[in-house]
Structure 1
Amino acid sequence: MLKIECRQGDITRQTDIDAVVNAANAQLRPGGGVAGALHRAAGPELDAACRSLAPIQPGQAVITPAFALPNRYVIHCLGPVYGVDEPSDELLAACYRNAMALAEAHRLASLAFPALSTGAFGYPMAEAARIALTTVTEAGRQCVHLRRVRFVLFDAATAELHQRLLDELTASP
């Protein structure tokens, strides 16, 4: 049974998680937001490891070692730019499914996601959270190795929104 957690925090400091997910750009380069924070914390080796894997397409996920991060791996996902990459809901769901599939393929027990596509890519937070939580819940039913997914969210309001939607999604009928 997959356990899903929602908490406010710093995705670069998830010491009890096997892999963290990077809200990547198509070229897998350091940038702002989550990508910048993960690249800074991992060190220059992460950028070097990403170069041969780029470019990636919206919805795609690739995996690298985590280098100086306290995790084994970084899974890089390119979320859709809201209003540009269509169908945005399907592409966003694909990010979560593909990241979980990579975690399963590498026999990882735990994975931490940020709120993909909600920063510079402009996805409305409530809609993105609903897609993320629904997709992770559904995909989790097929997971053998993955036991825990944590959403690591930038601020308290975002963490509370995710928790409320998760509670609604998992409430007994």
Structure 2
Amino acid sequence: MVIAYIVRGILEGIERPRKIFLSALMMVIIFCIPGYDDIKAYKRNVCQAQFGPQFNTKRRNLGIPVIPEKWQIKESSEGRVRWAPADSLIGHQKKYIYIDTGCVIEEELDYYGLTSQHGNKREVMIETQFGRGRLNDSVFYYYYHDDAGRRADTITRQQADSIFAAEKIRKDY
């Protein structure tokens, strides 16, 4: 209908160029914006899939936690995806993957739930920061051990391994 109106106005010479331009601009906006959202969603999904389980070989080579079998995406947004098992109280509970707008992986955070001690929630978090360009990848280990999960100590990989062994948690890295 808008197209017919514009064409009729041009052919009959009754529409001014400015009005024709504005009508054409409105038509582009009306038809293209919904398509842009679809393209953005498609790009996000393709990008996030690139760093899913098929990225596990790279994770194993780096010695960082993989996405275990039967895990699924629990949450997904622009630049972030959360993988988790169907249910998990103790052990590897979730993995957050952060991806920049250029579809380059920036960081992964892996959370391992431990048994509570003296009513305090405990967990180990493994943070992997992926280097860009000439920078090296970095891996950090943290032990959270208070009720709110806010008090953290930086620990070594060996200390994390010892905690997992004491808790009988199978390492997946």
With the shorter chain as reference, the TM-score category is 0.3 to 0.5
| Structure number having the greater strand percentage | 2
TM-score, with structure 1 as normaliser: 0.32
Higher Cα radius of gyration: 2
